Amino acid sequence: MKSEIIAIGSEMLTPYRQDTNSLYLTEKLNSLGVLVAFKTIVGDRRRDLVNAIRTALGRADILVLMGGLGPTEDDLTREAVAEALSLTLRRDATQVAALHARAATWRITMPSNNLKQADILESATLLPNANGSAPGQWLDTVFNNYRKLVMLLPGPPHECKPLFDNECMPRLREVVPPRAVAVRTLKAAMIPESQADKILAPIYTAYHDVETTILAHAGDLQLSLICSKPTMAEAQERVDELAGKIEEALDEWLYSSEGESLEQIVLYYLGLRQATLAIAESCTGGMLAQRITAVPGSSRSFLGGAVVYSDALKSAFAGVPADLIAEHGAVSEEVAKSLANGIRLRTGATLGVGITGIAGPAGGSESKPVGLVHIAVSDAQKTESMERTFRGDRQRVREWATQQALDLVRRRLM
């Protein structure tokens, strides 16, 4: 069965608010073997709502609407569903009494506009909301001769989520055919999205029953494999079979088969080798250390490091000779290597990382443009460096640099 989630509210069509409920609802629906085929955001305009609802009913078996159940003039979900399905609304006396009782507990007189929250769709089941005044509604109906399940839920997350769990999930379990959804997340580092797809498309397109999506961001490539089958064993078998072929094709680009982050994998390898890491960062300003220390237990392998933005601190904290900086410049292969080796020796770490570059937007030149980054990794045997020029704004250059640094450490430890 396919489902669609519609988030209702003009505020979510501005830069200031976003829909967060749908991620939670997607996880819950997937647990029942229901795939979410569409997610839609609609503003508080009745005509747009009616059109969106009719479109959803024409392409999904299950429709979940969130928001627009309040007492104000722009809360129009009930009315829009009624119009889309040619149903009437009736005012439920029990719910009217409940609204008055709720107002009494607050020692206030209930405004008359609150009464619209007692309007129930014809043949719908009222879903009590223990955390707010707006009840949900469950509707098992027919649209264009096809059975449809429609749920109306309040928008606030603290109301929407428990109401869906307590009222909708049990009802869905009774009517949804038994299905299972298997999901695998694979990750690769520093491979261009186009190159990855050229390698992988001939593989994953042969699996018509597995949905494969590729998402790339700042040197991180995530592949999500989703398969729905009557049993979890069947679904998992198909996903695992495809995952195995993708792993083989990506070879050393691949760093995770179970969705772990690159910093988690680096810390795993450090622990496996009983090795430790220290870093000296210039242009990334502590971002690499932040990524590593965000992983619980990182202190077992990560000793620490220094943000060495000025030339003086490069010398003071990482032992970079001043004449080396004067000769080659702070952004150079030589200084990156000296940072990596120096911080390793100063801290007694097994491996040291040095990063220096020009994050921008200013500070670049013809010979050393904005985005130029030198990254070095040092151990007792050798110190190696890589020069990269990353495109994008300051934040993006820094994100790419930390990703590249982590991947160099990973490859050194493999």
In the prediction, which pLDDT does 100 show?
A: 84
Last residue of a domain, one of 210, 225, 256: 256
In the prediction, which pLDDT does 103 show?
A: 84
In the prediction, which pLDDT does 45 show?
A: 96
Last residue of a domain, one of 159, 175, 191: 175
Secondary structure E strands in 128-173: 136-143, 146-153
Last residue of a domain, one of 143, 175, 207: 175
114 has a pLDDT exceeding 90:
no
Q: Mean pLDDT across the stretch 137-160?
A: 97
Which residue would you say has higher pLDDT here, 270 or 180? 270
When divided into structural domains, the chain yields a total of 3
Tell me, yes or no, whether 400 and 266 share the same domain. yes
In the prediction, which pLDDT does 101 show?
A: 86
CA within 13 Å, CB half, 49: 25
Q: Which residues contact residue 217 at a Cβ distance below 8 angstroms, ignoring those fewer than 6 apart?
A: none
pLDDT band for position 98 (50/70/90)?
confident
Tell me, yes or no, whether 353 and 224 share the same domain. no
pLDDT band for position 388 (50/70/90)?
very high
Q: Mean pLDDT across the stretch 83-92?
A: 95
Neighbours of 298 (CB within 10 A): 19
Share of the chain above pLDDT 90, in %: 90
Tell me, yes or no, whether 8 and 122 share the same domain. yes
CATH number at residue 246: 3.30.70.2860
Tell me: the pLDDT tens digits for 325-365? 999 999 999 999 999 999 999 999 999 999 999 999 999 99
Q: Identify the CA nearest to 228 among candidates 23, 379, 29, 22.
A: 29
**What single-letter DSSP state applies at residue 74?**
T
What H or E segment, with its residue span, contains residue 352? strand 351-357
Tell me, yes or no, whether 250 and 274 share the same domain. no
In the three-class reduction of DSSP (H, G, I as helix; E, B as strand; rest coil), residue 270 is classed as: helix
Tell me, yes or no, whether 59 and 116 share the same domain. yes
In the prediction, which pLDDT does 178 show?
A: 87
Tell me, yes or no, whether 78 and 153 share the same domain. yes
Helix ranges, 20-76 (H): 21-31, 46-57
Task: Provide the domain limits for residue 164.
Answer: 2-175
Percent of the chain as helix, strand, coil, to the nearest 5: 45, 25, 30
Tell me, yes or no, whether 43 and 162 share the same domain. yes
